[in-house]
Structure 1
Amino acid sequence: MNDRHTRRFGLGTATCLVMGNIIGGGIFLLPASVAPFGTVSLVAFGVLTIGAVALALVFGRLAERHPDTGGPYVYAREAFGDFAGFLSAWSYWTMTWVSNAALAVAIVGYVHVLLPGHPSGGTDLAIALGALWLPALANFAGTRYIGLVQTISTVLKFIPLLFIAVVGLFFFDPANLGSFHEGGGSAVGGMSAAAAILLYSYVGVESAAMSAGEVSDPERNVGRATVLGTIGSAVVYLLGTVAVFGTVAHDKLVKSKAPFSDAVNAMFGGHWGGTVVALAAVVSIIGALNGWTLMSAQSPYAAAKDGLFPAPFLTKRRGVPTFGVLAAGVLASALTVLNYLTGAGGVFEILVLITTFSATVPYLLAAGAQVYFLLTGRRDKVRPAHFARDLTLALTAFGFTFWLVAGAGYAAIYQGVLFLFAGILVYAFMAARRTARRAEAETADGATTAPATPGDHEEAPRPAASAAAPPRTT
C-alpha cells in the first residue's frame, strides 16, 4: 500500500465499516415489523444482541491469530480444509451480490419520497443501477476513498437515528406501547416469532474480519472494531425501536409503512418527518452498498489465492480486489434488470431467500473453527489461560448462528442448501485444475532435480564407466 489512493483502515474507519454494513435500510421498517408481537420483541432484541456480541468477540479472537483478508473463509480453511473454506467463500460471495441487488431495489422508494414525480420502470431501474455503481466507483478508486465514504455515510445516518432515539425518549408515552405480548399464545412463542424477524439485523458483524488485510494493526483493531461496531449498532437499534414504540400509538404502528417518519411527525408535528427519514435511508443504503461491495470482493480474493476461485479474482489495485468488485456489480445489476424488466419477482424473492440461509454458513464454520482450535489444544492458536472464556464465547456464537439458521425458515433453508450444493460442482472444477497444475509443477521439478540421496536401506547406484572418467587414486 504505497500510493495516495491506498490507505489502511484505522480503528475508526473499521468500526464504521462494521456499523455501516450492519445498519442498512432494514432499520427504517424494523419497529413496525415487530410491533404486532408487542414489547416482548424488545426482550428478543436484547437476547439477540448478546449472541451478536459473542460472535463479534469470536471474530476478534480469530483475527488475532489470522489477520488476513478473507476472515471466515480463512478460519474455516485453516480448521477444516479446502472444501469447508470453499463453502464459506461461495456462500458469502453469493450473499453479498444478491444482497446488493436487494438494497438497490429498496433505495428506489426512498428516492421517490425525496424527488416526487411520476415514476416509471425505466426511471426506477436507472436509480437502482446508479445506487449499485456509485459505491463500486468508490471501491475502484481505492481503500482511501472506501474508508472516506464509509465514515461519512455512517456518521450521517447515525446522527439522525440517534437523534430520534434520544429525543424520542422525552416524548415517550407508555400508553402507546400496547401489551407485553400481542396476538395470543405464550410470551415465549411471541419472543421467538419476533426473533425470527430480528435475527438478520446483525449480519455484517464480520466486516472488519473480512477486510483484516486492509486494517492497520489487525491483531488488535479488528476485534475492537467488530465489538464497537456491533455494540454501536445495537444502541441505535434498541433505542430507536423503544423511541418509536413510545411515540407512535400501537394500533397505528402495526400498520405503519414508515415508522420513523411517523415518530418524527408525532414528536414535532407536520409531515416533514418522511423527508428526513427518507434522506437518512438513502445515505444509510449507499453506505451499506459501499461496504458490501468491498465485502463481495474480499472473500473470493482470499479463496483465489489458494486456487479455490478463478484466478481473475486475484486482480487487485489500490488495495481493492477490482475484478471481484466488477463481477459483483455485474451480477447484482443483472439481477436488478431481471427484477424490473421481466417482472420476475418470484426469481428475485428466491435469490433473497438463498442469501438468508447462505449468510449463516460462514458464521457457523467460523464459530466451529474456534471451537476446533480450542479443543485441539493447539498452543499457537489458543491462550490456555482464557480457555474457558473463549470456549463459552465460541459455543454461544455457534448457538446464536444455529438460531439464525432455524429462523431462516424452511423455504430459505431449502433454496439455500440447493444453491450451496451447486457450488460443489464449482469446487470440483477448481480443485481438479489445481491438482493438475501441481502435478505439472512436480513433473517439471523432477526433470530438473538431481536424484535424492539414497536411504539407509538402499544401495547407491553406481556411476556408469566413462572413458573420460579420472583415474582412481590410491
Structure 2
Amino acid sequence: MSNPSTAGAVPDELRRRLGVSDAVVIGLGSMIGAGIFAALAPAARAAGSGLLLGLALAAVVAYCNATSSARLAARYPASGGTYVYGRERLGDFWGYLAGWGFIVGKTASCAAMALTVGSYVWPGQAHVVAVAAVVTLTAVNYAGVQKSALLTRVIVVVVLAVLAAVVVAALTSGASDAARLDIGDDATLGGVLQAAGLLFFAFAGYARIATLGEEVRDPARTIPRAIPIALGITLAVYAIVAIAVLTVLGPQQLGDATAPLSDAVRDAGIGWLAPLVRVGAAVAALGSLLALILGVSRTTLAMARDRHLPHALAAVHPKFKVPHRAELVVGVVVAVLAATVDVRGAIGFSSFAVLVYYAVANASAFTLTAEEGRPARAIPVVGLAGCLALAFSLPVTSVVAGAVVVAVGVAAYGVRRRVAAGH
C-alpha cells in the first residue's frame, strides 16, 4: 500500500495554481449544470408534491459527504479524491473500489452530459454534437487546468443568469400558485427517497474539488473552504428554481415535462425566453462535461500511479503539467460512449456507482482521529447510511446495472492481485 508521501514523491507532479475562487467555480460548474434543467422532472415524477422534501434529503446527504470529503482532502491533498482516502484509511481494496466506481460512473456521466448538449443544440444529430463537444473540451483540458477554470467561470455566469431569468419570470407571472408547494397524498417515502437519489446526482460535483488536490494552492485551507461554499450556493439555487417551477407547473405537470424550465417560462406567458433557456441548458451541460472530464482524468492518474490502471496513464505533460495521456484516453472512451449509448442508459448505472464512491468517503472519514481533523461522528454515519439508502432506492434496473459494474471491478481487482502474487 502506498502513502501520501509516496504518491507525492512522483517526479512529474502537477502544478499548484488554483485558489479558493477557482476551486469554488469548478465545483459550481459541476453542480449547477445540466442537472437543474433535467433532474427536476423525473424527481417530481417520483415524489409528486414531495419534491422539495426529496431536495432537502439530497442536500443533507450531500452536506455530510461534502464535510467528510473536505476533511479528508485537507489530510490527503493528492489527486484521486476518495480513491486516495479509501486506500489510506480503509485499505487498498476500498480505495480501488471507490476509484473504480468514480471512473466508471463519471465516465457514463460524461456521455450523458455530452448527449444533453446534443439534444438541446441539434436534436436530430445529438450523437454527432455530443462527440464534437467531448473532443473540444478534452482539448481545452489538455491545454491546462487554468484555462479550464477560466472557461468554467464564464459558463457558471451564463447559467446563473438564465436561471435567474426563469425564477423572475415564474414568480412574477399570473400563473404562479404557492398552493402547489403543499405536500399532498401523492408523496410517499419511497418516492421521496427516489427523488433524492435523482437530485443527488446533480449535487455530486463538489468531489471535483477534492480530486484537484495536487493543483490547489494551500489545500489544507482551500479545499475545506471551497467545498461547503460551492455546495451552499448550489443548494440555494436549486431550491429557488424548484420552488419557482413548481408554483407555475405544479408537481404533476412538472413530472410529465420533457423540458421543465422551458415549459415553465412558456406557461408564465414569456415564450420568448424559452430559446434562451435551451441555450442555457446546453451551456450548463458543457460546464458539467468540462469538470467531469477533468475529475475522471485525475482519478485515472492516481490509480495509474499505483498500477491499478496501466502505468503509462500516470504521465504528466512536461509543458502543460496535466495528465495528458489519462485525459486523452478518457476523452476517447467518452466519445465512443456518446456516439453509441442513450442518456437513460448512461445515467442508469452512474448514480449507483457514484453513491458507492461517496459511501467509501464517509467510511474513510469515520476513521479520522480528532488530531486529524475528523468531523462530528454523526456526519459520516448519516452520510454513509444516506448513500446506501439512496443507492438502493433507485429504479431496479439502475441498481442491477450498477451492481454488475461494481462486481466487474471487484473481479478485475482479484485477478490483478492473483497475478501479482504469482510473480
Residue 469 of structure 1 corresponds to: none
Structure 1 residue 260 and structure 2 residue 270: aligned?
A: no
**Which protein has the bigger helix share?**
2
Residue 453 of structure 1 corresponds to: none
1:404 paired residue among 363, 373, 390: 390
Structure 1 window deviating more from structure 2 (79-88 vs 350-359): it is: 350-359
SS at match of 1:204: helix
Residue 333 of structure 1 corresponds to: 335
Residue 353 of structure 1 corresponds to: 348
| Alpha-carbon spacing, 1:434–1:404, altered in 2? closer, same or farther (3 Å) | same
SS at match of 1:69: coil
Q: 8 Å contact 1:258–1:274 — kept in the other structure?
A: no
Q: 1:270 offset after TM fit, Å?
A: 4.6
Residue 5 of structure 2 corresponds to: none
| Alpha-carbon spacing, 1:111–1:58, altered in 2? closer, same or farther (3 Å) | same
Residue 9 of structure 2 corresponds to: none
| Alpha-carbon spacing, 1:176–1:35, altered in 2? closer, same or farther (3 Å) | farther
Describe how 1:220-369 pairs up with structure 2 within 5 A.
220-248=221-249, 252-267=253-268, 269-317=269-317, 318-339=320-341, 349-369=344-364
Q: 8 Å contact 1:368–1:398 — kept in the other structure?
A: yes
Alpha-carbon RMSD across the aligned residues, in angstroms, is 2.6
Q: 8 Å contact 2:105–2:350 — kept in the other structure?
A: yes
Q: 8 Å contact 1:91–1:361 — kept in the other structure?
A: yes
SS at match of 1:76: helix
Structure 1 residue 371 and structure 2 residue 355: aligned?
A: no
Number of matched residues?
407
Q: 1:142 offset after TM fit, Å?
A: 0.7
Structure 1 window deviating more from structure 2 (426-435 vs 204-213): it is: 426-435
| Alpha-carbon spacing, 1:34–1:77, altered in 2? closer, same or farther (3 Å) | closer
Q: 1:291 offset after TM fit, Å?
A: 0.5
Measured against aligned partners, the alpha-carbon deviations of 1:263-290 in whole angstroms (never above 9, x if no partner) come to 22344x3522221111111111111111
TM-score normalised by L of structure 1? 0.79
1:22 paired residue among 25, 31, 53: 31
Q: 1:238 offset after TM fit, Å?
A: 0.6
Q: 8 Å contact 2:117–2:126 — kept in the other structure?
A: no
Inter-partner Cα distance in structure 2 for 1:237 and 1:112: 26
Residue 50 of structure 2 corresponds to: 40
Measured against aligned partners, the alpha-carbon deviations of 1:335-368 in whole angstroms (never above 9, x if no partner) come to 22223xxxxx5xx755532222111122111110
Inter-partner Cα distance in structure 2 for 1:289 and 1:434: 36
Q: Which amino acid aligns with 1:104?
A: A
Inter-partner Cα distance in structure 2 for 1:409 and 1:124: 26
| Alpha-carbon spacing, 1:28–1:425, altered in 2? closer, same or farther (3 Å) | same
| Alpha-carbon spacing, 1:364–1:34, altered in 2? closer, same or farther (3 Å) | closer
Measured against aligned partners, the alpha-carbon deviations of 1:202-232 in whole angstroms (never above 9, x if no partner) come to 1222111111111111111111111111111
Inter-partner Cα distance in structure 2 for 1:192 and 1:425: 30
Q: Which has the larger radius of gyration?
A: 1
Inter-partner Cα distance in structure 2 for 1:428 and 1:248: 51
Structure 1 residue 91 and structure 2 residue 93: aligned?
A: no
Q: 8 Å contact 2:113–2:285 — kept in the other structure?
A: yes
Describe how 1:171-182 pairs up with structure 2 within 5 A.
171=173, 175=177, 177-178=179-180, 180-182=182-184
Structure 1 window deviating more from structure 2 (402-411 vs 58-67): it is: 402-411
Q: 1:6 offset after TM fit, Å?
A: 6.3
SS at match of 1:132: helix
Structure 1 window deviating more from structure 2 (325-334 vs 194-203): it is: 194-203
Structure 1 residue 155 and structure 2 residue 157: aligned?
A: yes
Measured against aligned partners, the alpha-carbon deviations of 1:16-69 in whole angstroms (never above 9, x if no partner) come to 111111233131133433445443211221222122112111111111211111
Q: Which amino acid aligns with 2:155?
A: S
| Alpha-carbon spacing, 1:333–1:49, altered in 2? closer, same or farther (3 Å) | same
Residue 199 of structure 1 corresponds to: 200
Q: 8 Å contact 1:357–1:405 — kept in the other structure?
A: yes
Q: Which amino acid aligns with 1:151?
A: R
SS at match of 2:309: coil
Q: 1:320 offset after TM fit, Å?
A: 1.9
Structure 1 residue 62 and structure 2 residue 72: aligned?
A: yes
Q: 1:84 offset after TM fit, Å?
A: 1.4
| Alpha-carbon spacing, 1:350–1:12, altered in 2? closer, same or farther (3 Å) | same
Residue 8 of structure 2 corresponds to: none
Residue 49 of structure 1 corresponds to: 59
Measured against aligned partners, the alpha-carbon deviations of 1:83-129 in whole angstroms (never above 9, x if no partner) come to 1111111111111222111111121221037xxxxx3xxx4332111
1:101 paired residue among 100, 106, 111: 111
Q: 8 Å contact 1:169–1:243 — kept in the other structure?
A: yes
Q: 1:7 offset after TM fit, Å?
A: 6.3
| Percent identity over paired residues | 25
